[in-house]
Amino acid sequence: MIFELTILGSSSAVPTSKRNLTAHVLNVHERFFLIDCGEGTQMQIRRNKIRFGKINHIFISHLHGDHIFGLFGLISTFSLLNRDKNLHIYAHAELENILTKHIEYFERNLSFKIVYHHINPKRNEVIFEDSKLTVETIPLKHRVPCCGFLFKEKPLLRNIKKVFVENHIVPISQIQKIKEGEDFITESGDRIPNNEITLPPFKQRSYAYCTDTAYYEKIIAIIQNVDLLFHEATYASNLKKMAKDTFHSTSEQAATIAKKASVGKLIIGHFSARYKDLTALENEAKAIFENTVVAEDGERHTIPLTR
């Protein structure tokens, strides 16, 4: 039951020789979710050995080029590979108009259907749900309408003890009920309490993605206690005024949000291309929130199962 984030791009505005533009892939129980899609994303998907056919849901935070320009090439590639599954895109309504015009000119005969899900970046609401997880929007503070995304695993089932299975004949029809908390009735009619034959379920896991935003404490209540937080840190603290003027954050501000939200681990990223060495940003963040790491293209961050 994997819950793993892959960083595809960690630069802001323009790519560098070592950093691609913003894109993440979150793998939840072998469901792959693409979060933003900067230029070069499809190359990063290939480099990180993620199958194109596994990506069925794309979440777009806002309509700045460094977060969407990769969509055009990715959609073209999907069609060239004769994709036939629907592609679901969760984004501002304007993106549908942009992509529709592009497709009408360049991709008139797409091999698959794009299903658009319009989001309201000013509201915190569930925009996706299946049997394994939910996805909520996180309103952010940027120059254009922008939102982050909160991925939350649904409650997991209890785990049946191996010794119980080895010593009892358990009908297949009873296994699901036991995992859901029911007691077991033996063939002779004896009742075995559920807590004697199962282990508690693993804790739910969560990931919050907060890209382009000024320092914004209103997100704290939404992301409280998440296991993993990505928060943009475009600038070091000496450029705090520039961060404010451009509606971005410093590494110190990202760490402050992480600390106030009591998150498990912080990843900082979306770095200005001016930085060749990110040591200063890393140190500034760690001084406030110790469990901070710098986003690196190609890195994977796994949230382990715990009880």
Is position 183 annotated as part of the catalytic site?
Answer: no
How far apart, in whole angstroms, are the C-alpha atoms of residue 179 and residue 305? Answer: 17
DSSP assigned state of 256: H
How far apart, in whole angstroms, are the C-alpha atoms of residue 259 and residue 229? Answer: 11
User: Of 36, 66, 212, 227, which is the active-site residue?
Assistant: 66
How far apart, in whole angstroms, are the C-alpha atoms of residue 230 and residue 218? Answer: 16
SS3 266: strand
DSSP assigned state of 119: -
Q: Which residues contact 177 (CB under 8 A, 6 or more apart)?
A: none
Inter-residue contact 226 to 208 (CB < 8 Å): yes
Per-residue tokens: 215: 């320092």
Per-residue tokens: 184: 């077991």
The residues annotated as belonging to the active site are 66
